[in-house]
Structure 1
Amino acid sequence: MPLMLPSSPDSTRSITGVASQLLAALHGGTGELPSARSAVLVVVDGLGALPLRAHAGHARTLSTAMAKRDVAASVFPTTTAAALTSLLTGAAPGEHGMVGYRVRHPERDVLVNQLTEWNGIDPRAWQPVPTVFERAAQSGHPAFTVGVPAHAGTGLSQAVLRGAEFRGGATPADRVEAAWALAEAHEGALVYCYLPEADKAGHKHGLDSAEWVAALEDIDAALSSRIPDGVGVLVTADHGMIDVPSQRQLVLDAAGGWHDGIRHIGGEPRMQHVYAEPDADQSAILSRWRRDLEGLADVVSRVEAVDAGFFGPVVTDAARARIGDLLVIARGNHALYDGEAADQRGRSMVGQHGALSAEEWRVPLIRMGAFAR
């Protein structure tokens, strides 16, 4: 199979290593990070390293603190459900089971959105890997998460934030201020601060829009506030983003034969999980999709993707059952849409992610406070 994952900067600079590095810093600084009396992990959802550097003038705090080597690799697929879970568990998607945006529930044979559709799904069973917060608590460290108030108690929060005490904040400044205060007040604390504003602005308006720049400036201003003495701060992202112009959209509709032998099209426009009908000829479908999407997307089978390590070195049976029979990974700045889906609102998105471009794959890994170089 010619398609390969992008190479990582090195083994210590992957988002799957962040959880262990933070815990090591709280245990005396025996790893990549120096010792800190408390640690704060700031996740700026959707902020790729390349877009950040391209807009350095609008993010002076982050760009000044960011050394040339302060870059990490995300995971495949480069989507929030998969990547955020990897950040907060230290496991690759094949192990934690959050293998995409919309994936098939094997027992129900329906697609579920892993960000929002948790009715009837036990988050602890669906995502069984202990979180960094559970590991911190086992070691006697207080754990807190500071996020958007509406996220408290959701299925996704139970899957990836369990073990932490939740605090809400309306704005980036509110959340950063609360994170700094918690880290200062609780010796040995692990604090997670979630900032989704850039991701939302990028999806709606694109990375070069005034709205995205304003969101980046607000986040940068929030992070410019004084970090308490002895508190280490690590700023990163789950994934990056790339703009997709409307002329780069391809609609996969029934009239074009795209649904022949296909039961579900899940995932998202830049990385689709395609599930075949039980009696379909999967080899024929794979050959046809590869031929018809040549130059627009790479099409691989589940077996090829698993064997190539796309989902990590370990793929559990539960995770394997959620992965599509085919994976369609957009090239360049293309996106592919299921033309038969009931909800077509996604076609209005400008900034997108899920695939393997450098804009999506590379994220910042910036050290501040007690972690500064």
Structure 2
Amino acid sequence: MTSPEGGGPGTPAPLAPLPPSAPLPASAASDLVLPRYGAGALSDVVPSALAALGVEGEHDLLGLPPSDRYVVMLVDGLGWHLLHRHAEDAPFLTGEGRIRRSLTVGAPSTTSTSLASLGTGLPPGRHGIVGYTMAIPGTDRLLNTLRWDTTVEPLVWQPHQTAFERGVQAGVAVTTVSRKAFRGSGITVAGLRGGEFVPADSAGQATAGTVEASRRGDRSLVYLYEGDLDWTGHRAGVNSPAWRHQLSALDHFAARLRSALPADVVLLVTGDHGMLDVAPDRRVDVDSAPQLRAGVRMVGGDPRLRYLYTHEGAAGDVVATWRERLGDGALVLGRDEAIATGWFGEVEDRVRPRIGDVVIAALDETAVECRRDFPMEPLMVGWHGSLTAEEMLVPLVVAD
């Protein structure tokens, strides 16, 4: 039987390089956008809003207008480049003066990591949600951070006080408006705890819940989550008519929300990551050749920022194998190298083993799938997770 990569029975196939893509600069790392933790990152949004609300000890790093009431709307999958590319589909969000600047998200550029960064005000290396899936140290299991493992205590996994909790402590009426299924979930408790939770499973419920919550107390902060744009991008792709229609629907929702909110409320809109489409011939399956699995005991992360957890002493060989396979399509680093880049910010000792022994960061339209362990991956059109500008940059929209 011939292997998927070619070659005869029992003979490891030669590792064919990926087909050519857009030319890359001489230095692969120059294609990456480094997170601007403390200088214009997603993790700076809530601390800056608290400072604008007058909370002592908080710092406005983003130049937000002073107000007694803030709504922070996070749109899953709203990238800086995507919004500008399709500005005609989002006239409210891209209205004159509303897009104040770009923000970087953290690494990986994936939802669970970004939600925890937003809620805690910390980089991933401190809050510890360093991927969609990541190793549970001391086990051969992965933690799926959007589904969560009931044997993992969220308050132990992420022990730091959140920015929302600091707001409550300072007397701010803090409210989360999100899907009912997210109430009490692992990621909510770990990264977004603090204040009241208002369930909302429709645009109407989200609008009404946000407006009511914004009127609470003398000072209020409302966090609103919207996830349909990301869902559409994953399944139809960001270059699809469906995605553009969803962006238009989002824009109408944001405009209606702004008109329904009290005049003294400042509405911020941002994203948790961008997205790009990955063609079938740019995808590599971990199980497509025996060499690619050699030395690997577990696969985590995302297809655009893959974590390989290796057997003891195998990391160096795994790095070499994957560098040969992916060539200029990805940056393949050992864990210590990846941490030294600053991608995760300061990394606490308890967090280090959650990051893969080998980290694969896609540079172009490459994705590293693990179809055996994650059978949904080949069905997705749009992806995110790596450190390219398309994935890392999100807008900061201010509608006051």
TM-score normalized by the length of structure 1: 0.93
CA distance in 1, matches of 2:314, 2:213: 56
In structure 2, the residue matched to 1:23 is 50
In structure 1, the residue matched to 2:302 is 268
Instruction: Specify which of 135, 144, 148 is matched with residue 166 of structure 2.
Output: 135
Q: How high is the sequence identity, in percent, across the aligned residues?
A: 34
CA contact (8 A) 2:140 2:298 kept: no
Does residue 304 in structure 1 map to residue 337 in structure 2?
yes
Where 1:63 maps in the other structure, the secondary structure is coil
Equivalent residues in 2 for 1:188-267 (5 A)?
Answer: 188-225=219-256, 226=259, 227-253=261-287, 255-267=289-301
In structure 1, the residue matched to 2:320 is 287
Change (3 A) 1:305 1:30: closer
Does residue 177 in structure 1 map to residue 208 in structure 2?
yes
Quote how far apart the aligned CAs of 1:14 are: 1.2
1:156-205: per-residue Cα shift (whole Å, max 9, x none)? 11112211211112223431332122113433011000000100010011
CA contact (8 A) 1:50 1:362 kept: yes
Q: Any gaps of 5 or more consecutive residues in structure 2?
A: 1-26
Q: Aligned partner of 1:220: which letter?
A: D
Change (3 A) 1:319 1:256: same
1:248-305: per-residue Cα shift (whole Å, max 9, x none)? 1111216332111110111111111100012x33222222221221122110111011
Does residue 85 in structure 1 map to residue 85 in structure 2?
no
In structure 2, the residue matched to 1:315 is 347
- Aligned pairs, number: 366
TM-score normalized by the length of structure 2: 0.87
Residues 63-72 or 133-142, more deviating:
63-72
Equivalent residues in 2 for 1:106-125 (5 A)?
Answer: 106-125=137-156
Change (3 A) 1:66 1:290: farther
Q: Aligned partner of 1:337: which letter?
A: E
CA distance in 2, matches of 1:111, 1:241: 24
Change (3 A) 1:281 1:177: same
CA contact (8 A) 2:79 2:394 kept: yes
Change (3 A) 1:220 1:68: closer
Q: Any gaps of 5 or more consecutive residues in structure 1?
A: none
In structure 2, the residue matched to 1:96 is 127
CA distance in 2, matches of 1:290, 1:201: 32
Change (3 A) 1:150 1:8: closer
1:207-264: per-residue Cα shift (whole Å, max 9, x none)? 1223222221222111112131211111111111111122211112163321111101
Q: Aligned partner of 1:276: which letter?
A: T
Change (3 A) 1:58 1:98: same
In structure 1, the residue matched to 2:24 is none
CA distance in 1, matches of 2:119, 2:96: 23
Larger C-alpha radius of gyration, 1 or 2? 2
CA contact (8 A) 2:34 2:387 kept: no
